[in-house]
Structure 1
Protein backbone atom coordinates (compact mmCIF):
# COMPACT_ATOMS: atom_id res chain seq x y z
CA UNK A 1 0.00 0.00 0.00
CA UNK A 2 1.40 3.42 -0.99
CA UNK A 3 1.89 5.91 1.84
CA UNK A 4 1.61 9.68 1.70
CA UNK A 5 3.27 10.09 5.11
CA UNK A 6 5.71 7.74 6.81
CA UNK A 7 7.65 8.54 9.96
CA UNK A 8 10.34 6.37 11.49
CA UNK A 9 11.37 6.65 15.13
CA UNK A 10 10.01 10.20 15.33
CA UNK A 11 10.75 11.82 18.69
CA UNK A 12 10.33 15.25 20.27
CA UNK A 13 11.78 16.17 23.62
CA UNK A 14 10.93 19.28 25.65
CA UNK A 15 12.91 19.97 28.84
CA UNK A 16 14.23 16.39 28.93
CA UNK A 17 10.69 15.00 28.65
CA UNK A 18 9.78 12.97 25.56
CA UNK A 19 6.46 14.32 24.29
CA UNK A 20 6.57 12.11 21.19
CA UNK A 21 8.44 8.81 21.33
CA UNK A 22 9.54 6.54 18.46
CA UNK A 23 6.48 7.31 16.35
CA UNK A 24 6.07 5.23 13.17
CA UNK A 25 3.09 6.75 11.35
CA UNK A 26 1.91 5.29 8.03
CA UNK A 27 -0.83 7.28 6.24
CA UNK A 28 -2.15 5.46 3.13
CA UNK A 29 -2.87 7.33 -0.10
CA UNK A 30 -6.54 8.27 -0.48
CA UNK A 31 -7.45 7.60 3.14
CA UNK A 32 -9.00 9.66 5.88
CA UNK A 33 -6.49 8.85 8.61
CA UNK A 34 -7.85 9.50 12.09
CA UNK A 35 -5.09 10.51 14.51
CA UNK A 36 -6.73 9.78 17.84
CA UNK A 37 -5.61 10.33 21.41
CA UNK A 38 -6.39 12.05 24.71
CA UNK A 39 -5.62 15.73 25.14
CA UNK A 40 -1.88 16.11 25.70
CA UNK A 41 -1.05 12.80 24.01
CA UNK A 42 1.29 14.43 21.44
CA UNK A 43 -1.03 14.86 18.44
CA UNK A 44 -0.42 18.58 17.81
CA UNK A 45 3.33 18.23 18.42
CA UNK A 46 3.44 15.45 15.82
CA UNK A 47 1.45 17.51 13.31
CA UNK A 48 3.77 20.50 13.81
CA UNK A 49 6.77 18.24 13.10
CA UNK A 50 5.10 16.95 9.93
CA UNK A 51 4.59 20.56 8.80
CA UNK A 52 8.12 21.67 9.68
CA UNK A 53 6.89 24.03 12.41
CA UNK A 54 8.77 22.07 15.09
CA UNK A 55 12.13 20.36 14.63
CA UNK A 56 12.19 16.66 15.61
CA UNK A 57 14.64 15.57 18.29
CA UNK A 58 15.17 12.29 16.43
CA UNK A 59 13.73 10.21 13.62
CA UNK A 60 12.79 10.85 10.01
CA UNK A 61 9.73 11.99 8.04
CA UNK A 62 8.89 10.90 4.50
CA UNK A 63 6.15 12.71 2.59
CA UNK A 64 5.11 11.72 -0.96
CA UNK A 65 7.96 9.19 -0.91
CA UNK A 66 10.67 11.80 -0.20
CA UNK A 67 12.52 12.25 3.06
CA UNK A 68 11.87 15.79 4.27
CA UNK A 69 14.97 17.98 4.65
CA UNK A 70 15.89 21.68 4.50
CA UNK A 71 16.33 21.61 0.74
CA UNK A 72 12.98 20.08 -0.25
CA UNK A 73 10.76 21.13 2.69
CA UNK A 74 9.12 24.12 0.95
CA UNK A 75 8.43 22.20 -2.27
CA UNK A 76 6.81 19.37 -0.29
CA UNK A 77 4.70 21.76 1.79
CA UNK A 78 3.28 23.32 -1.37
CA UNK A 79 1.30 20.10 -1.82
CA UNK A 80 -0.03 20.08 1.76
CA UNK A 81 -2.91 22.12 3.12
CA UNK A 82 -3.19 22.46 6.89
CA UNK A 83 -5.49 23.76 9.57
CA UNK A 84 -3.75 23.69 12.96
CA UNK A 85 -5.80 24.82 15.94
CA UNK A 86 -8.17 27.76 15.22
CA UNK A 87 -8.04 29.45 11.77
CA UNK A 88 -6.86 33.08 11.62
CA UNK A 89 -8.88 35.61 9.64
CA UNK A 90 -9.75 39.31 9.37
CA UNK A 91 -13.24 39.67 10.86
CA UNK A 92 -13.82 43.10 9.22
CA UNK A 93 -13.33 41.59 5.73
CA UNK A 94 -15.62 39.29 3.79
CA UNK A 95 -14.93 35.59 3.30
CA UNK A 96 -13.92 36.27 -0.29
CA UNK A 97 -11.55 39.08 0.71
CA UNK A 98 -9.90 36.83 3.31
CA UNK A 99 -9.44 34.14 0.68
CA UNK A 100 -7.96 36.64 -1.76
CA UNK A 101 -5.23 37.51 0.76
CA UNK A 102 -4.31 33.85 1.22
CA UNK A 103 -4.56 33.23 -2.53
CA UNK A 104 -2.06 36.06 -3.13
CA UNK A 105 0.32 34.75 -0.45
CA UNK A 106 0.16 31.22 -1.88
CA UNK A 107 0.59 32.56 -5.42
CA UNK A 108 -2.21 30.41 -6.81
CA UNK A 109 -4.66 31.37 -9.59
CA UNK A 110 -7.59 33.61 -8.68
CA UNK A 111 -10.08 31.03 -9.96
CA UNK A 112 -9.07 28.89 -6.96
CA UNK A 113 -11.25 31.12 -4.77
CA UNK A 114 -14.43 30.05 -6.55
CA UNK A 115 -13.36 26.41 -6.44
CA UNK A 116 -12.69 26.26 -2.69
CA UNK A 117 -15.80 28.28 -1.84
CA UNK A 118 -17.80 25.63 -3.69
CA UNK A 119 -16.03 22.76 -1.89
CA UNK A 120 -16.70 24.20 1.59
CA UNK A 121 -20.21 25.35 0.62
CA UNK A 122 -19.70 29.05 1.28
CA UNK A 123 -20.58 30.39 -2.20
CA UNK A 124 -23.68 32.13 -0.86
CA UNK A 125 -21.73 33.77 1.99
CA UNK A 126 -18.69 35.03 0.09
CA UNK A 127 -19.72 38.71 0.45
CA UNK A 128 -20.59 38.41 4.14
CA UNK A 129 -18.23 39.80 6.80
CA UNK A 130 -16.38 36.98 8.53
CA UNK A 131 -17.19 38.61 11.88
CA UNK A 132 -20.81 37.69 11.15
CA UNK A 133 -20.01 34.05 10.33
CA UNK A 134 -21.08 31.26 12.67
CA UNK A 135 -18.32 29.16 14.27
CA UNK A 136 -18.98 26.37 11.77
CA UNK A 137 -18.73 28.79 8.83
CA UNK A 138 -15.44 30.16 10.15
CA UNK A 139 -14.09 26.62 10.45
CA UNK A 140 -15.14 25.94 6.84
CA UNK A 141 -13.39 29.15 5.80
CA UNK A 142 -10.23 27.85 7.50
CA UNK A 143 -10.61 24.66 5.47
CA UNK A 144 -10.97 26.79 2.33
CA UNK A 145 -7.63 28.47 3.16
CA UNK A 146 -6.04 25.01 3.42
CA UNK A 147 -7.62 23.84 0.15
CA UNK A 148 -6.30 26.73 -1.95
CA UNK A 149 -3.81 25.40 -4.49
CA UNK A 150 -5.33 21.91 -4.76
CA UNK A 151 -3.05 20.16 -2.22
CA UNK A 152 -2.63 16.41 -2.44
CA UNK A 153 -2.69 16.13 1.33
CA UNK A 154 -4.76 17.88 4.00
CA UNK A 155 -3.75 17.94 7.69
CA UNK A 156 -6.44 19.05 10.14
CA UNK A 157 -5.86 19.41 13.88
CA UNK A 158 -9.09 19.04 15.90
CA UNK A 159 -11.27 20.62 13.15
CA UNK A 160 -14.56 20.08 15.04
CA UNK A 161 -13.42 21.62 18.34
CA UNK A 162 -16.02 23.96 19.82
CA UNK A 163 -18.64 23.34 17.13
CA UNK A 164 -22.30 22.59 17.80
CA UNK A 165 -23.76 19.28 16.50
CA UNK A 166 -24.83 20.85 13.18
CA UNK A 167 -21.35 22.33 12.64
CA UNK A 168 -19.70 19.02 13.50
CA UNK A 169 -21.90 17.24 10.96
CA UNK A 170 -20.97 19.81 8.27
CA UNK A 171 -17.23 19.39 8.81
CA UNK A 172 -17.50 15.60 9.10
CA UNK A 173 -19.39 15.29 5.80
CA UNK A 174 -16.94 17.60 4.08
CA UNK A 175 -13.88 15.67 5.27
CA UNK A 176 -15.39 12.34 4.21
CA UNK A 177 -16.07 13.70 0.72
CA UNK A 178 -12.53 14.95 0.01
CA UNK A 179 -10.84 11.63 -0.92
CA UNK A 180 -13.86 10.47 -2.93
CA UNK A 181 -14.60 13.67 -4.87
CA UNK A 182 -11.17 15.35 -5.02
CA UNK A 183 -8.65 12.51 -4.60
CA UNK A 184 -7.10 14.00 -1.46
CA UNK A 185 -5.58 12.20 1.49
CA UNK A 186 -6.66 13.62 4.85
CA UNK A 187 -5.02 13.31 8.26
CA UNK A 188 -7.42 14.52 10.94
CA UNK A 189 -6.63 14.58 14.65
CA UNK A 190 -9.18 14.38 17.44
CA UNK A 191 -9.66 13.28 21.04
CA UNK A 192 -13.22 12.22 20.18
CA UNK A 193 -13.48 8.55 19.26
CA UNK A 194 -17.01 8.96 17.90
CA UNK A 195 -15.80 11.60 15.42
CA UNK A 196 -12.88 9.51 14.19
CA UNK A 197 -15.17 6.49 13.86
CA UNK A 198 -17.59 8.38 11.62
CA UNK A 199 -14.94 10.07 9.43
CA UNK A 200 -11.96 7.78 9.07
CA UNK A 201 -10.94 4.75 7.07
CA UNK A 202 -7.67 4.28 8.99
CA UNK A 203 -6.81 5.14 12.57
CA UNK A 204 -3.66 5.68 14.62
CA UNK A 205 -4.04 5.90 18.40
CA UNK A 206 -1.43 7.81 20.36
CA UNK A 207 -1.10 7.89 24.14
CA UNK A 208 1.63 9.61 26.17
CA UNK A 209 3.56 10.21 22.96
CA UNK A 210 3.56 6.58 21.82
CA UNK A 211 1.63 5.00 18.95
CA UNK A 212 -0.31 2.10 20.51
CA UNK A 213 -2.54 1.10 17.58
CA UNK A 214 -2.45 1.69 13.83
CA UNK A 215 -4.76 -0.13 11.45
CA UNK A 216 -7.94 0.24 9.43
CA UNK A 217 -11.12 1.24 11.24
CA UNK A 218 -12.45 -2.17 10.25
CA UNK A 219 -9.62 -3.84 12.18
CA UNK A 220 -10.42 -1.73 15.24
CA UNK A 221 -14.08 -2.77 15.05
CA UNK A 222 -13.01 -6.42 14.77
CA UNK A 223 -11.48 -6.14 18.25
CA UNK A 224 -15.03 -5.80 19.51
CA UNK A 225 -15.50 -9.56 19.86
CA UNK A 226 -19.03 -10.74 20.46
CA UNK A 227 -19.68 -13.24 23.25
CA UNK A 228 -22.67 -15.13 24.62
CA UNK A 229 -23.28 -14.51 28.34
CA UNK A 230 -25.07 -17.38 30.07
CA UNK A 231 -26.39 -17.54 33.64
CA UNK A 232 -28.07 -20.61 35.11
CA UNK A 233 -29.28 -21.95 38.44
CA UNK A 234 -26.21 -24.22 38.53
CA UNK A 235 -23.26 -22.86 36.56
CA UNK A 236 -21.01 -25.66 37.81
CA UNK A 237 -23.03 -28.32 36.00
CA UNK A 238 -22.93 -26.20 32.82
CA UNK A 239 -19.15 -25.86 33.11
CA UNK A 240 -18.89 -29.65 33.15
CA UNK A 241 -21.04 -29.81 30.00
CA UNK A 242 -18.93 -27.15 28.26
CA UNK A 243 -15.73 -29.01 29.13
CA UNK A 244 -17.28 -32.24 27.88
CA UNK A 245 -18.16 -30.61 24.55
CA UNK A 246 -14.81 -28.78 24.28
CA UNK A 247 -16.39 -25.31 24.26
CA UNK A 248 -14.13 -22.53 25.60
CA UNK A 249 -15.60 -20.25 28.24
CA UNK A 250 -14.74 -17.62 30.83
CA UNK A 251 -16.42 -16.79 34.12
CA UNK A 252 -17.39 -13.20 34.98
CA UNK A 253 -19.73 -11.91 37.71
CA UNK A 254 -21.86 -15.03 37.82
CA UNK A 255 -22.03 -15.39 34.03
CA UNK A 256 -20.35 -17.92 31.79
CA UNK A 257 -18.97 -16.17 28.67
CA UNK A 258 -18.93 -18.32 25.55
CA UNK A 259 -17.59 -17.54 22.06
CA UNK A 260 -20.23 -16.19 19.67
CA UNK A 261 -22.32 -19.02 18.23
CA UNK A 262 -24.54 -18.86 15.18
CA UNK A 263 -28.30 -19.01 15.80
CA UNK A 264 -28.66 -22.69 14.95
CA UNK A 265 -25.81 -23.78 17.23
CA UNK A 266 -27.05 -21.57 20.05
CA UNK A 267 -30.62 -22.92 19.76
CA UNK A 268 -29.26 -26.50 19.80
CA UNK A 269 -27.13 -25.76 22.87
CA UNK A 270 -30.04 -24.17 24.80
CA UNK A 271 -32.29 -27.14 23.93
CA UNK A 272 -29.57 -29.49 25.18
CA UNK A 273 -29.30 -27.60 28.49
CA UNK A 274 -33.05 -27.74 28.99
CA UNK A 275 -33.01 -31.48 28.25
CA UNK A 276 -30.47 -31.81 31.08
CA UNK A 277 -32.91 -29.88 33.31
CA UNK A 278 -30.50 -26.95 33.72
CA UNK A 279 -32.40 -23.90 34.97
CA UNK A 280 -31.63 -21.14 32.47
CA UNK A 281 -31.83 -17.72 34.14
CA UNK A 282 -30.40 -15.37 31.52
CA UNK A 283 -28.94 -15.46 28.02
CA UNK A 284 -27.57 -12.36 26.30
CA UNK A 285 -25.16 -11.26 23.59
CA UNK A 286 -22.32 -9.00 24.68
CA UNK A 287 -20.02 -6.90 22.59
CA UNK A 288 -17.27 -4.46 23.58
CA UNK A 289 -17.93 -0.90 22.50
CA UNK A 290 -15.23 1.09 20.72
CA UNK A 291 -14.97 3.15 23.91
CA UNK A 292 -14.15 0.00 25.90
CA UNK A 293 -11.48 -0.94 23.37
CA UNK A 294 -10.05 2.59 23.44
CA UNK A 295 -9.84 2.51 27.24
CA UNK A 296 -8.14 -0.88 27.13
CA UNK A 297 -5.57 0.41 24.67
CA UNK A 298 -4.84 3.67 26.49
CA UNK A 299 -5.35 2.36 30.00
CA UNK A 300 -6.92 5.64 31.05
CA UNK A 301 -10.34 7.19 31.34
CA UNK A 302 -10.21 9.90 28.69
CA UNK A 303 -12.62 12.08 26.79
CA UNK A 304 -14.33 9.99 24.13
Structure 2
Protein backbone atom coordinates (compact mmCIF):
# COMPACT_ATOMS: atom_id res chain seq x y z
CA UNK A 1 0.00 0.00 0.00
CA UNK A 2 1.72 3.16 -1.20
CA UNK A 3 -0.55 5.78 0.38
CA UNK A 4 -2.59 5.45 3.58
CA UNK A 5 -4.71 8.52 2.70
CA UNK A 6 -5.63 9.69 -0.80
CA UNK A 7 -8.15 12.42 -1.57
CA UNK A 8 -9.28 13.33 -5.08
CA UNK A 9 -10.89 16.64 -6.03
CA UNK A 10 -12.06 17.16 -2.45
CA UNK A 11 -14.30 20.20 -2.03
CA UNK A 12 -16.09 21.68 0.96
CA UNK A 13 -18.36 24.68 0.68
CA UNK A 14 -20.21 26.48 3.47
CA UNK A 15 -22.95 28.71 2.04
CA UNK A 16 -21.04 30.99 -0.38
CA UNK A 17 -17.62 30.26 1.12
CA UNK A 18 -15.47 27.58 -0.50
CA UNK A 19 -13.39 26.25 2.38
CA UNK A 20 -11.57 23.43 0.54
CA UNK A 21 -10.90 23.48 -3.19
CA UNK A 22 -9.90 20.51 -5.37
CA UNK A 23 -7.70 18.96 -2.68
CA UNK A 24 -5.58 15.97 -3.75
CA UNK A 25 -3.73 14.66 -0.70
CA UNK A 26 -1.34 11.71 -0.76
CA UNK A 27 -0.14 10.57 2.67
CA UNK A 28 2.53 7.85 2.26
CA UNK A 29 2.43 4.69 4.33
CA UNK A 30 4.75 4.87 7.36
CA UNK A 31 5.30 8.61 7.10
CA UNK A 32 4.93 11.52 9.45
CA UNK A 33 2.95 13.78 7.15
CA UNK A 34 3.10 17.43 8.18
CA UNK A 35 -0.04 19.30 7.12
CA UNK A 36 0.97 22.96 7.11
CA UNK A 37 -0.98 26.15 6.66
CA UNK A 38 -1.93 29.45 8.29
CA UNK A 39 -4.82 29.54 10.73
CA UNK A 40 -8.05 29.29 8.74
CA UNK A 41 -6.40 27.61 5.75
CA UNK A 42 -8.65 24.53 6.01
CA UNK A 43 -6.46 22.03 7.88
CA UNK A 44 -8.99 21.06 10.57
CA UNK A 45 -11.87 20.87 8.07
CA UNK A 46 -9.83 18.52 5.88
CA UNK A 47 -9.01 16.27 8.82
CA UNK A 48 -12.65 16.20 9.89
CA UNK A 49 -13.69 15.15 6.38
CA UNK A 50 -11.14 12.32 6.44
CA UNK A 51 -12.59 11.18 9.78
CA UNK A 52 -16.19 11.46 8.56
CA UNK A 53 -17.02 14.25 11.02
CA UNK A 54 -17.73 16.67 8.16
CA UNK A 55 -19.38 15.66 4.88
CA UNK A 56 -17.48 16.74 1.73
CA UNK A 57 -19.40 18.80 -0.79
CA UNK A 58 -17.79 16.66 -3.50
CA UNK A 59 -14.75 14.49 -4.14
CA UNK A 60 -13.51 11.12 -2.91
CA UNK A 61 -11.49 9.92 0.09
CA UNK A 62 -9.53 6.66 0.01
CA UNK A 63 -8.18 5.13 3.23
CA UNK A 64 -5.99 2.02 3.43
CA UNK A 65 -6.49 1.49 -0.32
CA UNK A 66 -10.33 1.51 -0.10
CA UNK A 67 -12.68 4.32 -1.05
CA UNK A 68 -14.71 5.37 1.99
CA UNK A 69 -18.47 4.92 1.88
CA UNK A 70 -21.28 5.04 4.41
CA UNK A 71 -21.13 1.24 4.57
CA UNK A 72 -17.44 0.84 5.42
CA UNK A 73 -16.93 4.07 7.41
CA UNK A 74 -17.01 2.38 10.83
CA UNK A 75 -14.59 -0.32 9.66
CA UNK A 76 -12.18 2.39 8.51
CA UNK A 77 -12.50 4.40 11.72
CA UNK A 78 -11.64 1.34 13.81
CA UNK A 79 -8.13 1.56 12.31
CA UNK A 80 -7.71 5.30 12.98
CA UNK A 81 -6.83 7.19 16.13
CA UNK A 82 -7.38 10.94 16.26
CA UNK A 83 -6.90 14.01 18.38
CA UNK A 84 -8.78 16.93 16.83
CA UNK A 85 -8.50 20.37 18.43
CA UNK A 86 -8.25 20.06 22.24
CA UNK A 87 -8.58 16.66 23.99
CA UNK A 88 -11.84 15.83 25.79
CA UNK A 89 -11.73 14.39 29.30
CA UNK A 90 -13.56 14.14 32.62
CA UNK A 91 -11.54 16.34 34.97
CA UNK A 92 -12.91 14.80 38.17
CA UNK A 93 -11.77 11.33 37.08
CA UNK A 94 -8.25 9.95 36.99
CA UNK A 95 -6.28 9.42 33.81
CA UNK A 96 -6.82 5.67 34.15
CA UNK A 97 -10.58 6.08 34.60
CA UNK A 98 -10.77 8.33 31.51
CA UNK A 99 -8.96 5.73 29.43
CA UNK A 100 -11.26 2.98 30.72
CA UNK A 101 -14.24 4.94 29.37
CA UNK A 102 -12.54 5.38 25.98
CA UNK A 103 -11.56 1.72 25.83
CA UNK A 104 -15.20 0.76 26.45
CA UNK A 105 -16.43 3.09 23.70
CA UNK A 106 -13.80 1.78 21.28
CA UNK A 107 -14.40 -1.83 22.36
CA UNK A 108 -10.73 -2.24 23.18
CA UNK A 109 -9.58 -4.61 25.98
CA UNK A 110 -8.63 -2.79 29.18
CA UNK A 111 -5.22 -4.46 29.14
CA UNK A 112 -4.31 -2.11 26.27
CA UNK A 113 -4.52 0.87 28.65
CA UNK A 114 -1.21 0.13 30.34
CA UNK A 115 0.48 -0.17 26.94
CA UNK A 116 -0.64 3.30 25.80
CA UNK A 117 0.10 4.85 29.21
CA UNK A 118 3.65 3.57 28.83
CA UNK A 119 3.96 4.97 25.31
CA UNK A 120 2.95 8.48 26.42
CA UNK A 121 4.88 8.15 29.72
CA UNK A 122 1.91 8.64 32.04
CA UNK A 123 2.02 5.30 33.86
CA UNK A 124 3.14 7.01 37.08
CA UNK A 125 0.32 9.59 36.84
CA UNK A 126 -2.56 7.25 36.03
CA UNK A 127 -4.13 7.59 39.50
CA UNK A 128 -4.09 11.39 39.47
CA UNK A 129 -7.25 13.38 38.65
CA UNK A 130 -7.03 14.98 35.21
CA UNK A 131 -7.93 18.41 36.64
CA UNK A 132 -4.53 18.24 38.36
CA UNK A 133 -2.68 17.43 35.12
CA UNK A 134 -0.53 20.01 33.37
CA UNK A 135 -1.44 21.02 29.81
CA UNK A 136 1.27 18.73 28.47
CA UNK A 137 -0.05 15.78 30.49
CA UNK A 138 -3.58 16.41 29.21
CA UNK A 139 -2.30 16.40 25.63
CA UNK A 140 -0.47 13.13 26.28
CA UNK A 141 -3.61 11.65 27.82
CA UNK A 142 -5.52 12.63 24.68
CA UNK A 143 -2.83 10.97 22.60
CA UNK A 144 -3.07 7.84 24.77
CA UNK A 145 -6.79 7.67 24.06
CA UNK A 146 -6.09 7.97 20.34
CA UNK A 147 -3.52 5.15 20.54
CA UNK A 148 -5.92 2.68 22.18
CA UNK A 149 -6.51 -0.24 19.85
CA UNK A 150 -3.15 0.19 18.09
CA UNK A 151 -4.48 2.12 15.06
CA UNK A 152 -2.69 2.03 11.71
CA UNK A 153 -3.26 5.76 11.17
CA UNK A 154 -3.05 8.60 13.67
CA UNK A 155 -4.51 12.04 12.85
CA UNK A 156 -3.37 14.85 15.14
CA UNK A 157 -4.61 18.42 14.84
CA UNK A 158 -2.19 20.96 16.36
CA UNK A 159 -0.96 18.53 19.08
CA UNK A 160 1.61 20.99 20.49
CA UNK A 161 -0.86 23.87 20.75
CA UNK A 162 -0.60 25.59 24.13
CA UNK A 163 2.37 23.53 25.34
CA UNK A 164 5.50 24.97 26.91
CA UNK A 165 8.88 24.20 25.26
CA UNK A 166 9.42 21.06 27.36
CA UNK A 167 5.94 19.76 26.52
CA UNK A 168 6.49 20.49 22.83
CA UNK A 169 9.74 18.53 22.88
CA UNK A 170 8.05 15.56 24.57
CA UNK A 171 5.25 15.56 21.98
CA UNK A 172 7.76 15.78 19.12
CA UNK A 173 9.68 12.77 20.44
CA UNK A 174 6.49 10.75 20.84
CA UNK A 175 5.27 11.51 17.31
CA UNK A 176 8.64 10.68 15.76
CA UNK A 177 8.76 7.31 17.57
CA UNK A 178 5.37 6.06 16.37
CA UNK A 179 6.15 5.04 12.75
CA UNK A 180 9.41 3.27 13.62
CA UNK A 181 8.40 1.56 16.85
CA UNK A 182 4.71 0.86 16.21
CA UNK A 183 4.34 0.91 12.41
CA UNK A 184 1.88 3.79 12.42
CA UNK A 185 1.39 6.51 9.84
CA UNK A 186 0.93 9.94 11.42
CA UNK A 187 -0.78 12.94 9.86
CA UNK A 188 -0.12 16.02 11.98
CA UNK A 189 -1.31 19.56 11.29
CA UNK A 190 0.39 22.68 12.52
CA UNK A 191 0.99 26.35 11.80
CA UNK A 192 4.28 26.07 13.72
CA UNK A 193 6.66 25.55 10.85
CA UNK A 194 9.69 24.81 13.02
CA UNK A 195 7.80 21.94 14.64
CA UNK A 196 6.97 20.28 11.33
CA UNK A 197 10.54 20.79 10.14
CA UNK A 198 11.75 18.67 13.07
CA UNK A 199 9.31 15.76 12.84
CA UNK A 200 7.93 15.36 9.31
CA UNK A 201 9.13 13.10 6.52
CA UNK A 202 6.55 14.44 4.06
CA UNK A 203 4.72 17.75 3.84
CA UNK A 204 1.52 19.19 2.40
CA UNK A 205 1.04 22.97 2.46
CA UNK A 206 -2.48 24.36 2.20
CA UNK A 207 -3.45 28.02 1.78
CA UNK A 208 -6.98 29.39 1.30
CA UNK A 209 -8.23 25.81 0.89
CA UNK A 210 -5.81 24.95 -1.93
CA UNK A 211 -2.85 22.58 -1.82
CA UNK A 212 0.17 24.61 -2.95
CA UNK A 213 2.91 22.06 -2.23
CA UNK A 214 3.08 18.34 -1.55
CA UNK A 215 6.13 16.11 -1.36
CA UNK A 216 8.99 15.02 0.84
CA UNK A 217 10.48 17.43 3.36
CA UNK A 218 13.77 17.14 1.47
CA UNK A 219 12.05 18.24 -1.76
CA UNK A 220 10.57 21.23 0.05
CA UNK A 221 13.98 22.28 1.32
CA UNK A 222 15.34 22.06 -2.21
CA UNK A 223 13.16 25.07 -2.95
CA UNK A 224 15.41 27.00 -0.63
CA UNK A 225 17.41 29.67 -2.42
CA UNK A 226 21.10 29.63 -1.50
CA UNK A 227 22.69 33.07 -1.22
CA UNK A 228 25.97 34.66 -0.22
CA UNK A 229 25.96 37.58 2.23
CA UNK A 230 28.96 39.94 2.18
CA UNK A 231 29.60 42.71 4.68
CA UNK A 232 32.14 45.42 3.85
CA UNK A 233 33.26 48.75 5.27
CA UNK A 234 31.81 50.49 2.20
CA UNK A 235 28.76 48.66 0.89
CA UNK A 236 27.72 51.44 -1.51
CA UNK A 237 30.96 51.35 -3.49
CA UNK A 238 31.23 47.55 -3.19
CA UNK A 239 27.72 47.19 -4.63
CA UNK A 240 28.62 49.33 -7.65
CA UNK A 241 31.78 47.28 -8.28
CA UNK A 242 29.88 43.98 -8.11
CA UNK A 243 27.11 45.26 -10.41
CA UNK A 244 29.68 46.46 -12.96
CA UNK A 245 30.90 42.87 -13.06
CA UNK A 246 27.38 41.72 -13.92
CA UNK A 247 26.55 40.36 -10.48
CA UNK A 248 23.00 40.89 -9.16
CA UNK A 249 23.31 42.54 -5.77
CA UNK A 250 20.99 43.96 -3.11
CA UNK A 251 21.54 45.28 0.39
CA UNK A 252 19.75 43.80 3.43
CA UNK A 253 20.49 44.77 7.04
CA UNK A 254 24.05 45.87 6.34
CA UNK A 255 24.92 42.95 4.05
CA UNK A 256 25.25 42.73 0.28
CA UNK A 257 23.24 39.70 -0.90
CA UNK A 258 24.42 37.95 -4.07
CA UNK A 259 23.40 34.61 -5.64
CA UNK A 260 25.22 31.44 -4.63
CA UNK A 261 28.40 31.01 -6.67
CA UNK A 262 31.29 28.58 -6.81
CA UNK A 263 34.11 29.12 -4.32
CA UNK A 264 36.42 30.07 -7.20
CA UNK A 265 34.12 32.83 -8.48
CA UNK A 266 33.52 34.22 -4.99
CA UNK A 267 37.28 34.33 -4.41
CA UNK A 268 37.73 36.32 -7.63
CA UNK A 269 35.03 38.86 -6.66
CA UNK A 270 36.39 39.27 -3.13
CA UNK A 271 39.93 39.69 -4.42
CA UNK A 272 38.70 42.39 -6.80
CA UNK A 273 36.94 44.25 -3.97
CA UNK A 274 40.08 44.17 -1.81
CA UNK A 275 42.26 45.23 -4.77
CA UNK A 276 40.02 48.30 -5.18
CA UNK A 277 40.37 49.26 -1.53
CA UNK A 278 37.14 47.76 -0.16
CA UNK A 279 37.66 46.11 3.22
CA UNK A 280 35.61 42.89 3.48
CA UNK A 281 34.77 42.02 7.09
CA UNK A 282 32.38 39.05 6.76
CA UNK A 283 31.19 36.45 4.22
CA UNK A 284 28.26 34.09 4.98
CA UNK A 285 26.37 31.38 3.11
CA UNK A 286 22.62 31.59 3.77
CA UNK A 287 19.84 29.08 3.17
CA UNK A 288 16.13 29.71 3.65
CA UNK A 289 14.54 27.84 6.54
CA UNK A 290 11.10 26.24 6.30
CA UNK A 291 9.37 29.43 7.39
CA UNK A 292 11.06 31.44 4.63
CA UNK A 293 10.02 28.84 2.05
CA UNK A 294 6.47 28.82 3.41
CA UNK A 295 6.19 32.60 3.08
CA UNK A 296 7.56 32.42 -0.46
CA UNK A 297 4.91 29.87 -1.38
CA UNK A 298 1.95 31.53 0.32
CA UNK A 299 2.96 35.20 0.07
CA UNK A 300 3.14 37.67 2.93
CA UNK A 301 -0.66 37.77 3.18
CA UNK A 302 -0.58 34.15 4.32
CA UNK A 303 1.98 34.81 7.04
CA UNK A 304 1.29 33.30 10.43
Return the offset for 1:121.
Answer: 0.6
What are the within-5 Å matches in structure 2 for residues 70-219 of structure 1?
A: 70-219=70-219
Return the offset for 1:251.
Answer: 3.0
* Partner deviation per Cα, 1:201-237 (whole Å, 9 max, x = no partner): 1111111111111121122222222212455625444
CA–CA separation in structure 2 for the residues paired with 1:199 and 1:105: 31
Number of matched pairs: 297
CA–CA separation in structure 1 for the residues paired with 2:82 and 2:159: 10
- Where does the alignment leave 5 or more consecutive residues of structure 2 unmatched? none
Return the offset for 1:30.
Answer: 0.9
Return the offset for 1:283.
Answer: 5.3
Q: TM-score, with normalisation over the residues of structure 1? A: 0.90
Q: TM-score, with normalisation over the residues of structure 2? A: 0.90
Q: Is the 8 A contact 1:232 1:280 kept in 2?
A: no
Q: 1:98 to 1:256 in 2, by over 3 A?
A: closer
Q: Is the 8 A contact 1:83 1:157 kept in 2?
A: yes
1:284 aligns with 2:283: yes
Q: 1:24 to 1:270 in 2, by over 3 A?
A: same
Aligned residue number for residue 60 of structure 2: 60
> Aligned to 1:212, what secondary structure does the other structure show?
strand
Q: Is the 8 A contact 1:228 1:283 kept in 2?
A: no
Return the offset for 1:272.
Answer: 4.8
> Aligned to 2:128, what secondary structure does the other structure show?
coil
Moved more, 59-68 or 224-233: 224-233
Return the offset for 1:268.
Answer: 4.2
CA–CA separation in structure 1 for the residues paired with 2:300 and 2:274: 42
Return the offset for 1:55.
Answer: 0.6
* Partner deviation per Cα, 1:156-177 (whole Å, 9 max, x = no partner): 0111111111111111111111
1:233 aligns with 2:237: yes
Return the offset for 1:89.
Answer: 1.2
Q: 1:229 to 1:133 in 2, by over 3 A?
A: closer
Moved more, 221-230 or 252-261: 252-261
Q: Is the 8 A contact 1:232 1:281 kept in 2?
A: no
Q: 1:149 to 1:234 in 2, by over 3 A?
A: closer
> Aligned to 2:249, what secondary structure does the other structure show?
strand
* Partner deviation per Cα, 1:94-146 (whole Å, 9 max, x = no partner): 11111111111111122111110111111111111112111111111110110
CA–CA separation in structure 2 for the residues paired with 1:114 and 1:152: 19
Return the offset for 1:290.
Answer: 2.4
Aligned residue number for residue 250 of structure 1: 248
Q: Is the 8 A contact 2:229 2:257 kept in 1?
A: yes
CA–CA separation in structure 2 for the residues paired with 1:31 and 1:234: 48
> Aligned to 1:156, what secondary structure does the other structure show?
strand
- Where does the alignment leave 5 or more consecutive residues of structure 1 unmatched? 244-248
Q: 1:234 to 1:37 in 2, by over 3 A?
A: closer
Return the offset for 1:292.
Answer: 2.1
1:20 aligns with 2:34: no
Q: Is the 8 A contact 1:190 1:196 kept in 2?
A: yes
